[in-house]
Amino acid sequence: MHLLQHASLQNRSFLLIDKAKKNQNDRTWCFWETNPGLFEPIVHHRWNTLHFFSSSVERTMQIAPYQYKMIRGIDFYNHCLAYISQHSNVDILYTDVTSISESADDAMVTTTHGTFTCKHLFNSIVFKPLQPQPGKFLLLQHFKGWLIETDVPSFDPGTATLMDFRVSQEHGTTFVYVMPLSTQQALVEYTLFTPALLQPEQYDAALRKYITEQLQITGYHIRHEEFGIIPMTNIPFEKNSNHITHIGTAGGNVKASSGYAFRYIQKNSAAIANALAAGSDLSAIKISAAKFSFYDSVFLNVLTHHQQKGADIFSRIFRSNNQQSVFRFLDNESSLREDLSIITSLASMPFVKAGITEIFKQKNPMF
Ligand SMILES: Cc1cc2nc3c(=O)[nH]c(=O)nc-3n(C[C@H](O)[C@H](O)[C@H](O)COP(=O)(O)OP(=O)(O)OC[C@H]3O[C@@H](n4cnc5c(N)ncnc54)[C@H](O)[C@@H]3O)c2cc1C
């Protein structure tokens, strides 16, 4: 989609390979942004007000100039496929990719329908599971969401709950998102940042408990379910090479400390398309300053060694900082002054210890 925005790339031909037809509503993306993005026409719902809850903090935040937006997977796939079908320089092939490789001049994709050669390959497949590495951290953000419809009006469709930590923290950092779409419909998502998954029935039990006890809703129907696992890690993903650029999750575009990925992927894809259109070097693309990977490592270090600390960390961040600064920080777009304010609100022994440990692990200058 980003490549197709550039007139100067209209004379290039693209082959898009995917094993799936993308005709299922397999995920819902939520993210904040200030300006209309490339996918504005398919934003399903948006919120200008967000709640944050924990046992020590209750905050209602007006987030302008940000909006918190939701895009449904199926709308995204239909929109992209319809747009792509208007471009005769793009072919789509539905097949399994078994491997990718490169020679001095080209990249190769091997599929169950043969091998294809191209000048440049953009890969979004994670071929090998991430392997634990000494000094690196791997947590999973795992969540189960129910789109529920209630018997009586129960929600304010103008206000979403970004994080509600008033749930048991027995498994580690755990919270719930509530994203109302109308007075009687909301997506409720039970989310954990932990090293291991729960049993399927544990997610369901936690959702039921939250809906009845916290939201105090008794009459409701589940209209749709989703489950997801997102890696939160500082283990490096595959490196880009002359003819292969890894994108999406495979390109390391998931914010290691929050699991948010949609906006990073868009920023990265836009930067790639701009560089290609300008004929500049793709290997020079950098969407975030190095200091942010340091912050992510410190955060992962603390969450790994103090698994119950997540509620306290996010409570301190949201209690003491302006919400727009927090969004910029989580988007890797904050100034050093904003960083310092957030870091100061977190100053405590685990952070100081983790910060010192991670400084010594850094190979490259951060600032
Ligand atoms: C349920 C869910 C909800 C999420 N919600 C949010 C959210 O609210 N906000 C946010 O910021 N992030 C969210 N994420 C994280 C992230 O934004 C998504 O995972 C995003 O889809 C990642 O994009 P991607 O291109 O890396 O991977 P994908 O979107 O998974 O695309 C990879 C593609 O590769 C294809 N593929 C895989 N293997 C092969 C193969 N061998 N051969 C051919 N094709 C193959 C797949 O069919 C797929 O189409 C969510 C993730 C999940 C799973």
In the block, which residue shows the tokens 């998102």?
177
**161 strand-pairing partners:** 51, 178
Per-residue model confidence as pLDDT tens digits over 186-232: 999 999 999 999 999 999 999 999 999 999 999 999 999 999 999 99
Helical H segments across the chain, by residue range: 73-85, 200-209, 262-278, 290-305, 310-320, 323-330, 336-346, 349-361
SS3 260: coil
Distance in Å, CA 309 to ligand 1 centroid:
28
226 CA closest ligand 1 atom index:
1
User: In the prediction, which pLDDT does 152 show?
Assistant: 98
Query: b/e for 326-345, b at 16 or more Cβ within 10 A?
Result: bbbbbbbebeeebbebbbeb
pLDDT of 288 over the 90 cut: no
**What is the mean pLDDT of the segment spanning 169-197?**
97
pTM of the model: 0.94
**Which of 2, 19, 84, when mutated, tests ligand 1's pocket best, judged by the most ligand atoms within 8 Å of its CB?**
19
Distance in Å, CA 208 to ligand 1 centroid:
27
260 CA closest ligand 1 atom index:
11
Q: Which protein residue's CA is at the shortest distance from atom 15 of ligand 1?
A: 261
Long-range contacts of 283-289 (CB under 8 A, 24+ apart): 283/240, 287/332, 288/264, 288/332, 289/332, 289/366, 289/367
pLDDT of 146 over the 80 cut: yes
User: In the prediction, which pLDDT does 330 show?
Assistant: 92
**What is the mean pLDDT of the segment spanning 81-109?**
97
Please give the mean pLDDT across all residues of the chain. Answer: 93
DSSP letters, 68-133, are EEEEEHHHHHHHHHHHHHT-TTEEEEE--EEEEEE-SS-EEEEETTEEEEES-EEE----SPPPP-
**Which of 16, 29, 111, 128, when mutated, tests ligand 1's pocket best, judged by the most ligand atoms within 8 Å of its CB?**
29
Joined tokens for residue 318: 């949201």
User: In the prediction, which pLDDT does 349 show?
Assistant: 65
**Which of 230, 253, 266, when mutated, tests ligand 1's pocket best, judged by the most ligand atoms within 8 Å of its CB?**
230
Q: Is the dihedral of CA 310, 333, 351, 299 positive or negative?
A: positive
20 CA closest ligand 1 atom index:
47
User: For strand 14-18 and strand 90-94, is the pairing parallel, antiparallel, or unpaired?
Assistant: parallel
Burial of 66 by CB count in 10 Å (0-12 exposed, 13-18 middle, 19+ buried)? Answer: buried
User: In the prediction, which pLDDT does 363 show?
Assistant: 64
Lining ligand 1 with CB less than 6 A are 17-20, 27, 29-31, 96-97, 124-125, 226, 228, 230, 248-250, 260-262, 265
